[in-house]
Amino acid sequence: MRYLPHTPEEIQKMSQAVGVRSPEELFEVIPQALRLKAPLELPKPLSEIDLVRHLKALGRKNETVDGAGSFLGGGAYHHYIPVAVSTITSRGEFMTSYTPYQPEISQGTLQAIFEFQTMIASLTGMDLANAGNYDGASALAEAVLMALRLTDPAKKTVLLAQSIHPDYRQVVKTYLSNIDCRIVEVPFGPDGRVDAAVLKKSLNDEVAVCCVQSPNAFGVVEEVAKLSAAVKGAGAMMVGCFSEAVSLGLLEPMGRQGADIVVGEGASFGNFLNLGGPYLGLFATKKEFVRQMPGRLVGETVDAEGKRGFVLVLSTREQHIRREKATSNICTNQALCALATTVYLSLLGPQGLQKLARINYSHAHYLREGLLKIPGVQRQFAGPHFNEFAVQLSKDPEEVLSKLRQKGILGGIALKSWAPGMERSLLVCATEMNSKAQMDDYVRAMREVL
Amino acid sequence: MNMIDKPKKAGPGKRGMIFAEPTIFERGAPGRQGYSLPEDEIPAADPAKEIDAALLRHEAPLLPEVSELDVVRHFTRLSQWNYSIDTGLTPLGSCTMKYNPKVNEEVARMSGFVKLHPQAPVADIQGALELMFHLQHYLAVISGMDAATLQPAAGAQGEFAGLLMIRAHHAAQGNPRKKILIPDSAHGTNPASAAACGYKVVTLKTGPDGVLSADAVAAAMDEETAGIMITNPNTLGLFETHMAEIAKLVHDKGGLVYCDGANQNALVGMARVGDMGVDVLHFNLHKTFTTPHGGGGPGSGAVAVKKVLEPYLPVPTVVRRGEHFDWDYDRPKSIGKVKAFFGNFGMLVRAYTYIREMGAEGLRQVSQRAVLNANYVRKSLEADFHLAYPQVCMHECVFSDKIQKKFGVTTADIAKRMMDYGYHPPTIYFPLVVPGALMVETTETESPQTLDRFIKAMKEIARECREEPETVKAAPHVPKVRRLDEVKAAKEPKFVYVPKNP
Amino acid sequence: MNFPEDLKYTTEHEWVRIEGDVATVGITDYAQEQLGDIVFVELPEEEETIDKGDTFGVVESTKSVSDLYVPLTGAVVETNDPLLDSPEIINEDPYGEGWMIRIKLKKPEEVKELLDAKAYQKLIEEEEEA
């Protein structure tokens, strides 16, 4: 047992020093009846060689996005991650350090978070961002809770666009399940965008907050500024959310389109797909709302000698001090994922991110044009999209997907369960990882299948 | 002051080469880039043709303009300003900062795991599902429970999910109930999570012997109380000896017992909370099962439950159907989802790998040696620092600054001085029931030689507190920065870098 | 530490100065010292009615936060707004410029339940012991 350093002699000596015959004796504080009598029924221990062999074998039972031409999006996007990102995040000093409660010996983590906050605030068009939430979905739920704290307690309606990713909507419902409020879903129109007329009708003085996603669950870019104006006009708060962070390189930040809080999924910035986690919730807002913000925050200050340094600030909002009155129970910030994002965005720079976003846009555009030439494929929504889009098929999407899969292609996501009336809809995504040849193959395969 | 060179008798703390490094925004030059994008073979589509100009970004974002070397050097320098387990002993009580095996990292970064899309068909992720299915099972076995979910992203979210299940159970009986009992030694997340589930927190006082008495629970427990949240061993490092009786009292009134699994490192292989009347428990996989702390996440807060709560587990769970593994969404009583997709899968791979390496006997040795180490430290320092509860402890022990206060030195000063000697301070001022607490947990992965050096350093600090308190009060002297002005940070908040010439 | 004889005190470390039917409220020298550098204060709206035992605001240092408890039932007639921008005044002059609110009393008989300086000092000594 290589992780347990004690030799038998040392165990003996230490036991003596403590005044017991053996370590087992120390467990006599546990009442006899509560102690485990038989060994745990677990598989036999493995040596490192066997362990790696076993895990490799498990890994081989999976098909990665590299193996098959993958056109999957829907809240998780396949992007290239420069090697330097892992080089940095693998450093033990980052990977095995504690939460930076002791600033003098955590300046690395603290400064990196400060840089992260700066990047996210700028990308979202907000004054500030926190150090990170669990993922986009829980960040959205926390944003709704924050908005409810910031508005008149008499306002109890939460408007949730139906074009928000279904997992996100479900998480919001879970988080609000014991809060005195009412969730009303706002449908989308034929262009795939929030139905502005219905939204306007839903707005009344009961509404505390309205949430929209852009690009939304179907990849469609929402007219956030127009929606914000209506929402704010009714005295409610506006929350903007996104699941594809790379879109921030192309689209006007929602903070500049009237949103009070902008949240989203940051995994696209330097984090692996990882079957859905760990990911990174991004959370940005305006200065005046900071005291109601959930999660960790880093601020710049000076040390006793006047040197620049960084510390955690406004900790009194958090659970370890405020306990049941805290703004949230969260006590981690996905720090290593946030670090990956900081390194990734540093490598890209402003030009790189904008170019990458345009490449994504062009690829999706190219693929869409190819698919739409096929009889039996129709564009689902007229609204403009970023790197994913929905199409309507002449055949059952599940069947089509399974036939495509036989040709080595992960053709997209059937939208049947996402919203009513989408039995024939398929969500298709293309990123910089999808080459021209791959997309041409996909179009060819689709033509054969339909 | 000539104190900088002083604390070199014990401990590994030394001054090395420390690089100055500005923020990354102050590095580089306009137009420089550290990422190579492919020459695109696809004709560029003009977004302005379809997307309204008002919806397209007008200004470039504030991101650094640096080369790959600039980036690597910048973050490597930053990393060197951090203390970490890989650098030295991190004796943070209740945080279980044990060694994070490198093989875990290697396997978790295999492309067969990291490059899996959450929307992939189940046929394409059979290996991942198999791993999750077994991990669910191992966690249930280890804790003596019946089923588990791997979805919560961290311990705090596990608490939230666990309490929602308790609430759903009561609601199904016709009354969700109003209150939750929580001892005053609990982690702050406990009351915060209870509040998030709409429960009123009733705080129970820890008894004079450092554990919760059955009487205290009996007096507070009624049929409007949904249950109790209890940490066992508690944050004083003591086993809750009345656990079985407490569980019975709670169950007799129809309540359920929640166990905060933060301190499971003391119990693995030796005792199971499921045998003590616990109905729901969250694990912190980064504590007991060695996934790295990462400077504050990502964690994983798997939750194990007894049969009574199984119908309420978040969707989906992982099930086996014949030879195949699958997601199970058909759970009508489920509390729903607490995060998108299925959990922090990358962390699950690491925890699984660790359990497979250790096996049953390995895990049993973990808790034995963690408890041995803690008692060794307790015994070795009991003359130097006041022990809040002098009895045998489990995996951690709680000292205080009661002796040192006489010399005008506080826990915060002692903590800062430890940095000069080359150690991360312990958890301080927690649990709240011990004024000036110094909560020490060395974990099983530290050798007796490391402990002896640490003990020697602590004794030297105790001497300094008596003989030269000013040295301790001005600490730290060795790290990159001295004590930081937190008042300034709070009053003149700067959350983002502002370019000098925007 | 200073505990003026002419003031009344609460077990939650507020002080009260009674002038006619108006009570001025702040936190004691002991309380400000325990908190450390105060960086934030939250005060109630003027004219708000507050009941004894409720909270009327919050005071925070960088590491801790305390609720402020209403010592006497009444209506808030004045709040010390300069504290919102300069909360350090509470550390500097807790019994003077650091006052927080003035309450017009609805139940003057509650004054009898407050502690005098001697009783309050004894209370702190006990807290220190523990």
Per-position DSSP letters for B431-466, written without gaps between them: STTSTTEEEE---TTS-HHHHHHHHHHHHHHHHHHH
**What is the C-alpha separation between A150 and A287, in angstroms, rounded?**
13
**Which residues numbered 347-376 in B keep a CB inside 8 Å of some CB on A?**
347, 349, 353, 355-366, 368-369, 371-373, 375-376
The ipTM value here is: 0.97
Nearest CA in chain C to A101: C63
Residues 246-275 of B with CB under 8 A from A: 269-272, 275
Optimal mutation site among C39, C41, C58, C62, interface A, most CBs of chain A within 10 A: C62
Residues of A in contact with B392 (CB under 8 A): 26, 29
C84 reaches A (C-beta below 8 A): no
Q: How far is CA B372 from the centre of its chain?
A: 22
* Chains touching A (3+ CB pairs < 8 Å): B, C
- Count, residues in chain A: 450
Q: pLDDT value at position B3?
A: 45
Nearest to B342 among A276, A310, A413 (CB): A276
Does residue A339 register a pLDDT over 90?
yes
- pLDDT of B4 > 70? The answer is no
How many interchain CB pairs under 8 A, A with C? 15
Amino acid at site A437: A
- Spell out which residues of chain A touch residue B74, defining contact as CB-CB under 8 Å: 346
Q: Is A51 helix (H, G, I), strand (E, B) or coil?
A: helix
Q: Residues of B with CB below 8 A from A135's CB?
A: 153, 339-341
Q: What is the CATH number of the domain that holds B178?
A: 3.40.640.10
CB contact under 8 A, B359 and A43: yes
In a domain, B177, yes or no: yes
User: Cβ of B359 and A354 within 8 Å?
Assistant: no
For chain C, the chains sharing at least 3 beta-carbon pairs closer than 8 angstroms are A, B
Instruction: Please say whether the beta carbons of A79 and B73 come within 8 A.
Output: no
Higher pLDDT, C1 or B334: B334
Minimal CA–CA distance to B346: which of B266, B400, B303, B285?
B285
Q: Which residues of C touch A321 (CB under 8 A)?
A: 63-65
Q: CA-CA distance, B246 to B219, in Å (whole number)?
A: 11
Quick one: pLDDT band at residue C71, thresholds 50, 70, 90? very high
How does the average pLDDT of chain A come out, rounded?
Answer: 96
Position B2 scores a pLDDT of 40
> What is the rounded average pLDDT of the residues A207-234?
97
pLDDT over 70 percentage in chain B: 98
Beta strands, E only, A163-319: 182-186, 207-213, 237-242, 261-265, 281-285, 298-302, 308-312
**Would you tell me how many other CB atoms lie within 10 Å of the CB of residue C42?**
17
Residue that the structure tokens 């961290």 belong to: B154
Looking at the complex, report in whole angstroms how far the Cα of residue A316 sits from the nearest Cα belonging to chain C. Answer: 6
Q: What is the pLDDT of residue B336?
A: 96
Residue B88 and residue B90: Cα distance in Å, rounded?
6
pLDDT of residue B406: 95
Residue B488 located in a structural domain: no
- In this complex, which of B429, B435, B490 lies closest to C62 when CB atoms are compared? B490
Q: What is the pLDDT of residue A270?
A: 98
Residues of C in contact with B487 (CB under 8 A): 37, 39, 62
- Using a CB–CB cutoff of 8 Å, tell me whether B430 touches chain A: yes
Judged by CB atoms within 8 Å, which residues 312-371 of A form the interface with C?
313, 315-316, 321-322
Query: Number of residue pairs across A and B with CB atoms under 8 Å?
Result: 685
What the block records as the tokens of A430 is 């293309």
CA dist A346 and B63 (Å) reads: 6
- Look at residue A364 and give its three-state secondary structure: helix
- Measured between CA atoms, the residue of chain B closest to residue C60 is B490
Q: Averaged over A417-421, what is the pLDDT?
A: 91
Domain C8-118 belongs in CATH node 2.40.50.100: yes
Residue C127's pLDDT band, with cuts at 50, 70 and 90, is confident
Q: C-chain residues within 8 Å CB-CB of A315?
A: 62-63
DSSP letter, residue B119 = T
Asked whether residue B272 is assigned to any structural domain, the reply reads yes
Contact B344 A86 (CB under 8 A): no
CA distance A302 to chain C (A): 15
Strands A261-265 and A237-242, bridge-based pairing = parallel
Q: For residue B447, give both structure tokens.
A: 């050798």
Backbone φ and ψ of B245, nearest 5°: -65, -40
Contacts of B197 in chain A (CB under 8 A): 178
Instruction: Say yes or no: C62 contacts chain A, CB-CB below 8 A.
Output: yes
Q: Are the beta carbons of A102 and B419 separated by less than 8 Å?
A: yes
Across residues A348-373, what is the average pLDDT? 97
CA distances for C47 relative to B327, C24, C75, C103, C104, angstroms: 58, 15, 6, 9, 9
Chains with at least 3 CB pairs less than 8 angstroms from chain B: A, C
- Predicted confidence (pLDDT) at residue B478 exceeds the cutoff of 80: yes
Tens digits of per-residue pLDDT, C6-44?
999 999 999 999 999 999 999 999 999 888 899 999 999
The pLDDT confidence band at residue A364, using thresholds 50, 70 and 90, is very high
- Please judge whether B23 and A225 are an interchain contact, meaning their C-beta atoms are less than 8 angstroms apart: no
Domains assigned to chain A: 69-81+350-449 (3.90.1150.10), 84-343 (3.40.640.10)
Q: Which site among A89, A97, A303 would you substitute to test the B interface, given the most B Cβ atoms closer than 10 Å to its Cβ?
A: A97
pLDDT exceeds 80 at position B501: no
Phi, psi of C26 (to 5 degrees): -150, -170
Half-sphere exposure of B73 (CA within 13 A, CB side): 12
Interface test with C, best of A311, A316, A323 (most C CBs within 10 A): A316
Share of chain A above pLDDT 70, in %: 100
Q: A445, A365, A315, A408: which is closest to A65 by C-alpha?
A: A408
Establish whether the linkage from the previous residue to B208 is cis, with ω within 30° of 0: no
CB contact under 8 A, B297 and A334: yes
> Rounded mean pLDDT of chain B?
95
Instruction: Look at residue B7 and tell me whether its pLDDT is greater than 60.
Output: no
Which residue of B386, B402, B433, B486 is the best one to mutate when testing the C interface, meaning the one whose CB has the most C CBs within 10 A?
B486
pLDDT in tens, C85-122: 999 999 999 999 999 999 999 999 999 999 999 999 99
- Least CB–CB distance from C39: residue in B429, B435, B487: B487
Q: For B159-218, what is each residue's pLDDT tens digit?
A: 999 999 999 999 999 999 999 999 999 988 999 999 999 999 999 999 999 999 999 999
N-terminal to C-terminal alpha carbon distance within chain B: 41
Mean per-residue pLDDT for A407-436? 95
Both ends of chain C: CA-CA distance in Å? 19
**Best of B25, B52, B70, B84 to disrupt the A interface by mutation (most A CBs within 10 Å)?**
B84
Say whether residue A392 is in contact with chain C using an 8 A CB cutoff.
no
- Contact across the interface for A321 and C40, Cβ inside 8 Å: no
Write the CB contacts of A43 (distance below 8 Å, at least 6 apart in sequence): B356, B359
The pLDDT score that the predictor gives to residue B405 is 95
Is the model's pLDDT at B8 over the cut of 60? no
Which positions ≥6 away from A9 have C-beta within 8 Å?
none
pLDDT, tens digit (0-9, with 9 covering 90-100), for A303-334? 999 999 999 998 888 878 777 788 888 888 99
The CA distances from residue B322 to A63, B138, B169, B313, B317, in Å, are 21, 20, 30, 22, 16
Q: Does C65 touch chain A (CB under 8 A)?
A: yes
> What is the DSSP secondary structure assignment for residue C21, as one 8-state letter?
T
pLDDT digits (tens, 9 = 90+) for B247-269: 999 999 999 999 999 999 999 99
Distances in Å between the Cα of A215 and the Cα atoms of A240, A383, B5, B67 are 10, 10, 58, 31
Which of A65, A72, A98 is the best residue to mutate to test the B interface, defined by the most B CB atoms within 10 Å of its own CB?
A98
Nearest-CA residue of chain A relative to C61? Answer: A316
Q: What's the pLDDT at A381?
A: 97
Total tally of structural domains belonging to chain B: 1
Question: For residue B406, is it within any domain?
Answer: no
- Boundaries of domain holding B260: 104-357
Question: Min CA distance, C97 vs chain A (Å)?
Answer: 25
- Of A260, A198, A255, nearest to A235 (Cα)? A260
Q: Which residues on adjacent β-strands are paired with residue B304?
A: B148, B281
Q: Look up residue B213 and give its two tokens.
A: 């008495």
**Among the residues of C50-116, which ranges form H helices?**
82-85, 88-92
Would you call A262 helix, strand, or coil by DSSP? Answer: strand
